């Protein structure tokens, strides 16, 4: 079973490209914002680490339990 199979099975495969584009823009703009605002390397590392751990928490705690049929490959 691949990651997109539940979406395809439920007729929601058209949302995959939209999700990928939105996710890429989200990551790009947070990176750009961090680069522009943070002055030192330590601050940039701290902000990016915080964003990474926030990503893990949101996906592990909130997203994964909502969609138990979704498998991470």
| Domain boundaries of the chain, sorted by first residue | 5-66
pLDDT band at 68 (very low <50, low <70, confident <90, very high): low
Q: Is the model's pTM score more than 0.75?
A: no
pLDDT value of position 62: 74
What are the pLDDT digits (tens) for 17-39? 887 888 888 888 888 887 788 78
Q: CA 26, 29, 33 angle in degrees (round to 5)?
A: 135
């Amino acid at each position: 079973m691949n990651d997109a199979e539940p979406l395809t099975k439920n007729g929601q495969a058209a949302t995959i490209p939209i999700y990928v584009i939105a996710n890429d823009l989200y990551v790009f703009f947070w990176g750009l914002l961090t680069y522009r605002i943070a002055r030192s390397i330590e601050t940039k590392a701290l902000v990016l680490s915080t964003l990474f751990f926030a990503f893990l928490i949101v996906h592990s705690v909130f997203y994964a339990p909502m969609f138990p049929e979704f498998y991470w490959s």
